[in-house]
Structure 1
Amino acid sequence: MYLEEYQAGTYERQTDYSAFIPSHINKQWEWRTPEINVLLEQANLELGRLGSYSELVPNIDLYIRMHLKVEANKSNRIEGTQTTIEEELMPIRDLDPEKRDDAREVQNYIRALQHGVDRIIRDDFPLSSRLIREIHNELMQGVRGEHKTPGEYRTSQNWIGGSMPSNASYVPPSHLHIPELITDMEKFIHNDEIYVPLLIRIAMIHYQFESIHPFLDGNGRAGRIMIPLFLLDSGLLKKPCFYISDYFEIHRTEYYDALNRVRLNQDMIGWIIFFLKASVATAKSARVKFGNAVMLVDEYNRLVPQISGSTENVQAIFDAFYDNPIQNANVLSESNSISKQTVSRILAAMHEKGILEEITGYSRNRVYTMRKYLDVFRI
């Protein structure tokens, strides 16, 4: 079947609204649009370069964790959170109360994505309906929406926009259709008897998941987490180093419009072209960020011997900032089993050399940021 002839689905009339039922996607798909061939080639080339680079760089897992935190910030900003990456890296107790809910949602996103990565890499567990529900359960713990059946597909109607289904901008299928639609999507993820390139598959899977909207809340975040997990599960990447939400957040209107045009105008080609362009840009950007991180860390490592104290303690403090570039002496002391006096002395020396910036202006309980390192991933 050709993607140019894709039929997005049908509408099912309810009492005072119509719910959209997306068509099944577990089929052999082809296309006549040459632009897809060129973009697919570019995207695979850039992903290959990123994958090779990620397997060669020392300490890449450290940089990936930082990359993941920025992904969490961007994905949640698409959903309307207002906290900055700096605020999300600080302990929640140190934030203004009105920002704590947003920060918790971001931290849950990090945990949910890491849970999925661990299940696939450590447990050899496939991307599946069960894993999607596990991820959703992690996303919704202790945050807004925690009472909307975390980890369970909905058993009632939901909608997007408006105050009720009758004035909503989009009404997904009735919950009665969810088991069948999720089963079809899951089969498409793992179907070895069809010949659909992996990036085309995940583009269609992301659209399909967002159209099914199987949870009462958190569908956008869960759907974006599925993208890097699919690349890991399929073997296209060996490391979890591809996070596309930055591109989606920058092009938020185009992102939503491309998804909506599939449902409204049968334009699956347009959505896939957008997704492939996003994939090319994301893979290039990630490789540049990792390269810049390596160069900056090499520069800082040359400064380690110039800071008084045992090399082991100094290096531990540097490594802590590479994992989370906003820290204070109390946390560093506790997490590294180094006396607070020693930690404070190391922090002062790093500050004097311009490695760290102090961001509170206080004389006590100071908080430091390794801003140049943070900017590598944020920009």
Structure 2
Amino acid sequence: MKRELQGHYVPITTPGEQAQAFVPAPLPPDPPIEWGPALRGKFDQALLALGRLDSVSTLLPDTGLFIYMYVRKEAVLSSMIEGTQSSLSDLLLFELDEEPGVPLDDVQQVSNYVAALDHGLKRLAEGFPISLRLFREIHEILLSMGRGSHHTPGDFRRSQNWIGGSRPGNAVFVPPPPDQVLDCMGALERFLHDEPEATPVLLKAALAHVQFETIHPFLDGNGRLGRLLITLLLCEQNVLRMPMLYLSLYFKTHRQYYYDLLNTVRLTGDWGAWLDFFAEAIIVTATQAVDTAQQLVALSAADRDKIQQLGRAAASTLTVHNALMGHPITTAGSLVENTGLTPATVNKCLKRLTSLGIVHELTAQKRNRVYSYAGYIAIMNQGTELPV
């Protein structure tokens, strides 16, 4: 079905020139999306992949430990798309109060993302709906410290923004003018709450992501919050019991095509190409997450088998190993806190784990040594080393 521009342009005046800002039409698309056999089959595959991902939590000895690290990996990847250079190890060092190997602003931005996601998930667990208020709360935390903290955290923008170029007049895309942001976001909120009609959750997530990025309601942080929206929706609607799906790596890998698709939807109404891409992103990402979980289970089991060979020393060493699963970059002092073991016992355990090749020391110093559960970090780092 031939479609047209998915909204309308309004003239805006900027110093020395005029430009055109785009105001999107409310969701759902009109006329309705046509579901051919190929697209419907792709969405069925995506739902199956999500089902497998949701069930993988039963394989994990401690789902909380996996989620703890997986959320941090997503924070690194999502922030990489925005230009930060922080790695997963940098973030873990920062959280350990150790000096990261990148500018502090970069790692602070990633840390903010973790806190923002945690806040959003906590609010959903309390029964709070995805809403404009929740968007503002998450945004306030996302930009609370470091780079972006001067961009009115928690407030919808009151000035014009643009994407690409040096000004609205030569921009790749100009979102709605500030006086129309609240109306646009209000319409998006109604769509999320199934007004004027109910929308299947996976389709809702796909459409809402495009709409949020098109409105670009904040001065900064829109990309990160728009990606978070997908996971929050899947958790709110109980498609996933745990926040185990993040599309940032897929969007990062196919970044230019992703941006082109967003623009094509706005200009031509080609929702089909975007939905096909979105479903593929779900399938690939969910499959990768299952594989990551299985690799971590295998690593943990293999390392525990090695530790069991230590005889009487195995019990305390397994306790330290379990703590490393939750905090794979750590210090002896932190392990004492987390395990309740004495400093002498922890240090003996770390020596045993080092001799077994499970733990590597990151610092060559006599005091305040930093240790890494190298195999765990290597598995979690898969994908974060891609060119930005």
Instruction: Tell me the TM-score normalised to structure 1 length.
Output: 0.92
Matched, 1:124 2:127: yes
| 8 A Cα contact 2:190 2:196, kept in partner | no
**Distance in structure 2 (CA, Å) of the matches to 1:183 and 1:56:** 41
Letter in 2 for 1:138: I
Deviations 1:82-136 (A, max 9, x none): 1222112112653358521111111111111111111112x02111111111111
Name whichever of 199-208 and 184-193 sits farther off: 184-193
Name whichever of 74-83 and 45-54 sits farther off: 45-54
Aligned counterpart, 1:5 = 3
Matched, 1:274 2:272: no
| 8 A Cα contact 2:359 2:373, kept in partner | yes
The within-5 A match list for 1:17-36 is: 17-26=19-28, 29-36=32-39
The within-5 A match list for 1:85-96 is: 85-91=88-94, 93-95=97-99
- Residues 214, 193 of structure 1: CA spacing in aligned structure 2 closer, same or farther, 3 A cutoff? closer
- Residues 350, 228 of structure 1: CA spacing in aligned structure 2 closer, same or farther, 3 A cutoff? same
Matched, 1:176 2:179: yes
| 8 A Cα contact 1:25 1:188, kept in partner | yes
Aligned counterpart, 1:361 = 364
- What is the CA distance between 1:165 and its match in structure 2? 1.9
Aligned counterpart, 1:108 = 112
Name whichever of 49-58 and 92-101 sits farther off: 92-101
Name whichever of 34-43 and 275-284 sits farther off: 34-43
| 8 A Cα contact 1:119 1:125, kept in partner | yes
- What is the CA distance between 1:182 and its match in structure 2? 1.0
Alignment length (residue pairs)? 376
- What is the CA distance between 1:139 and its match in structure 2? 0.5
| 8 A Cα contact 1:42 1:280, kept in partner | yes
- Residues 311, 96 of structure 1: CA spacing in aligned structure 2 closer, same or farther, 3 A cutoff? closer
Name whichever of 337-346 and 141-150 sits farther off: 337-346
The within-5 A match list for 1:191-340 is: 191=194, 194-307=197-310, 313-340=316-343
- What is the CA distance between 1:312 and its match in structure 2? 6.2
Name whichever of 164-173 and 86-95 sits farther off: 86-95
Aligned counterpart, 1:71 = 74
- What is the CA distance between 1:163 and its match in structure 2? 2.6
- Residues 79, 318 of structure 1: CA spacing in aligned structure 2 closer, same or farther, 3 A cutoff? same
- Residues 259, 88 of structure 1: CA spacing in aligned structure 2 closer, same or farther, 3 A cutoff? same
Letter in 2 for 1:17: A
- Residues 308, 249 of structure 1: CA spacing in aligned structure 2 closer, same or farther, 3 A cutoff? farther
- Residues 332, 137 of structure 1: CA spacing in aligned structure 2 closer, same or farther, 3 A cutoff? same
Deviations 1:258-283 (A, max 9, x none): 21222233322211111111001011
- Residues 163, 193 of structure 1: CA spacing in aligned structure 2 closer, same or farther, 3 A cutoff? closer
The within-5 A match list for 1:147-162 is: 147-162=150-165
- Residues 279, 336 of structure 1: CA spacing in aligned structure 2 closer, same or farther, 3 A cutoff? same
Q: SS at the partner of 2:159?
A: coil
- What is the CA distance between 1:350 and its match in structure 2? 0.5
Instruction: Tell me the TM-score normalised to structure 2 length.
Output: 0.90
**Distance in structure 2 (CA, Å) of the matches to 1:248 and 1:342:** 45
**Distance in structure 2 (CA, Å) of the matches to 1:60 and 1:96:** 27
Deviations 1:170-217 (A, max 9, x none): 211011111111111111112176353321111110010001000111
Name whichever of 73-82 and 29-38 sits farther off: 29-38
- Residues 363, 307 of structure 1: CA spacing in aligned structure 2 closer, same or farther, 3 A cutoff? farther
Q: What is the percentage of aligned positions where both structures have the same residue?
A: 38
Name whichever of 5-14 and 217-226 sits farther off: 5-14
Q: SS at the partner of 1:116?
A: helix
Aligned counterpart, 1:57 = 60
Q: SS at the partner of 1:302?
A: helix
Q: Give unpaired runs (5+ residues) of structure 2.
A: 383-388
Deviations 1:122-176 (A, max 9, x none): x021111111111111111111111211111111111122332222222110111
Aligned counterpart, 2:385 = none
Q: SS at the partner of 1:14?
A: strand
- What is the CA distance between 1:310 and its match in structure 2? 6.8
Matched, 1:372 2:375: yes
**Distance in structure 1 (CA, Å) of the matches to 2:58 and 2:359:** 29
Q: Give unpaired runs (5+ residues) of structure 1.
A: none
| 8 A Cα contact 1:308 1:346, kept in partner | no
Q: SS at the partner of 1:90?
A: helix
